[in-house]
């Protein structure tokens, strides 16, 4: 346990217990400013053991120390300190002043509604709620369960203790600017009041296992070294920026870049054209798995290994975009009408038309590099291939190639594409007429 000492009424001290020594140290530094005002007779400290109306402060400033539960009142503009050190529920509407310090100890389930221009809020291990109606509010917590609601035009920063849970709500008009910093394991959930009134949160992670839920809301996530899982409904959208950990994304809209640790398992929303997945696995890291659950989405492999999959009822039309760069990718597509962009010195095995669908053309684009690629399911006179340099097509029938039939598209000074025909029908799988030079 770690304590914060408050100078109470009549010079007596009141101790507020927090769990984290770091949190207590930061809270004590803020409280010392209040203690000095009290010591020099500039602040009138009131102690409340239960319900009751706040008296007007007799000095220039006032402070409120809650030693019991059941208090619910407006402190008024003079009160710049609110403290709670007893288990139980209290509700305080903070004054419309220049600065307020709030400390709620372990077990003190305080609801604090901020009207101050600048509020410093310290919560122990409790079930705390903080509402920001005005100005700037900075909150530090332990590993309890907390809720944040804020109005438009406000700025709120929440520094979560390891193991904490935070629920972010908007006030029906859209969320103010909100930043969440989590230094360890955490569960962070953000909820908009409707699909058209969307809560937006900037979430910065450091390490640990973190779950982020995005419901009718938006989130921008910097994962650091954390292992992060992102879940959302169809109205939720998020942006995930790489990091050195790994990511699990379940059916979400937005842009998601996996971490360099690999084993990123990410799937798109079923909403057409709503999601971009970018593999983050570094060379030598475990393989990424990226899945498109609808059409019109973009999947891109990282610098390491990745498996890119588009799923749909066999023979469904409407495709996805696959960006294949410097890494090693394996692509399976149940859709047709895909676009495949090859850019870099990597390699890929691309298997299209899983299930034998032949309607709708697939489009292939070579943008340079010296990669080697295996293409399956290319349909000549339907699919197209665009290159940026001169090319040559070589066909080897089964009789001349140890029983295997293969067609090779060689781009001048660059990549080679191998078209393998398991049926060995004696015909090249890609012809000069399928290829154009841009």
Q: Are 177 and 201 spatial neighbours (Cβ–Cβ below 8 Å)?
A: no
Using CA atoms, how far apart are residues 335 and 321, in angstroms rounded to an integer?
11
Determine the pLDDT at residue 64.
95
Alpha carbon 361 to chain centroid, angstroms: 35
Q: Give the Cα-Cα-Cα angle 194, 199, 203 (nearest 5 degrees).
A: 150
Determine the pLDDT at residue 181.
97
Determine the pLDDT at residue 194.
67
Residue 400 DSSP one-character state? G
Report residues of the chain scoring pLDDT below 50.
Answer: 314-315
Determine the pLDDT at residue 425.
78
Q: Are 217 and 177 spatial neighbours (Cβ–Cβ below 8 Å)?
A: no
Determine the pLDDT at residue 413.
76
3-state secondary structure of 399: helix
Determine the pLDDT at residue 418.
96
Give the sign of the dihedral formed by CA 30, CA 32, CA 35, CA 41.
negative
Determine the pLDDT at residue 353.
81
Tokens at residue 384, please? 């197209």
Q: Which residues contact 208 (CB under 8 A, 6 or more apart)?
A: 162, 182, 183, 184, 185, 186, 226, 227
Residue 125 DSSP one-character state? S
Q: Give the Cα-Cα-Cα angle 318, 319, 325 (nearest 5 degrees).
A: 170
What are the two backbone dihedrals, phi and then psi, of residue 123, each rounded to the nearest 5 degrees?
-115, 135
Residue 9 DSSP one-character state? G
Determine the pLDDT at residue 114.
96
Q: Which residues contact 215 (CB under 8 A, 6 or more apart)?
A: 189, 190, 191, 192, 232, 233, 235, 236
Determine the pLDDT at residue 312.
62
């Amino acid at each position: 346990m770690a304590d914060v000492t408050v100078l109470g009424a009549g010079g007596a001290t009141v101790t507020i217990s927090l769990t984290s020594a770091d949190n207590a140290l930061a809270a004590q530094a803020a409280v010392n400013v209040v203690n000095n005002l009290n010591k020099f007779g500039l602040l009138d400290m009131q102690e409340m053991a239960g319900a009751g109306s706040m008296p007007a402060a007799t000095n220039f400033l006032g402070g409120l120390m809650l030693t019991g539960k059941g208090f619910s009142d407006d402190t008024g503009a003079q009160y710049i300190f609110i403290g709670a050190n007893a288990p139980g529920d209290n509700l305080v509407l903070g004054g419309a002043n220049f600065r307020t310090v709030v400390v709620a100890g372990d077990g003190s389930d305080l609801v604090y509604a901020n009207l101050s221009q600048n509020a410093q809020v310290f919560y122990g291990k409790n079930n705390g709620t903080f509402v920001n109606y005005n100005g700037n509010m900075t909150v530090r917590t332990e590993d309890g369960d907390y809720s944040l609601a804020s109005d438009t035009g406000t700025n709120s920063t929440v520094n979560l203790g390891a193991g904490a849970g935070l629920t972010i709500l908007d006030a029906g008009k859209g969320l103010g600017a909100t930043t969440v910093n989590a230094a360890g394991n955490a569960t962070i959930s953000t909820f908009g009041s409707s699909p058209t009134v969307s809560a937006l949160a900037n979430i910065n992670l450091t390490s640990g296992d973190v779950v982020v839920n995005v419901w009718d809301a938006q989130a921008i996530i910097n994962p650091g070294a954390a292992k992060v899982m992102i879940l959302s409904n169809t109205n939720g959208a998020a942006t995930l920026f790489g990091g050195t950990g790994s990511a699990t994304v379940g059916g979400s809209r937005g842009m998601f870049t996996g971490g360099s640790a690999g084993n990123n398992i990410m799937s798109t929303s079923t909403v057409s054209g709503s999601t971009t997945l970018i593999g983050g696995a570094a060379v030598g890291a475990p393989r990424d798995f990226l899945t498109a659950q609808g059409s019109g989405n973009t999947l891109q492999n990282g610098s390491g290994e990745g498996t890119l999959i588009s799923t749909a009822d066999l023979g469904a039309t409407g495709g996805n975009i696959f960006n294949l760069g410097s890494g090693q990718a394996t692509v399976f597509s149940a859709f047709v009408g895909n676009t495949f962009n090859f850019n870099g010195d990597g390699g890929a095995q691309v298997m299209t038309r899983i299930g034998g669908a032949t309607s709708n053309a697939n489009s292939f684009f070579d943008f340079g590099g010296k990669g080697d690629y295996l293409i399956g399911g290319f349909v000549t006179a339907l699919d197209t291939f665009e290159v940026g340099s001169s090319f040559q097509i070589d066909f080897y029938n089964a009789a001349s190639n140890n029983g295997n039939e293969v067609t090779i598209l060689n781009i001048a000074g660059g990549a080679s594409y191998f078209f393998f025909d398991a049926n060995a029908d004696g015909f090249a799988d890609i012809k000069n007429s399928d290829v154009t030079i841009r």
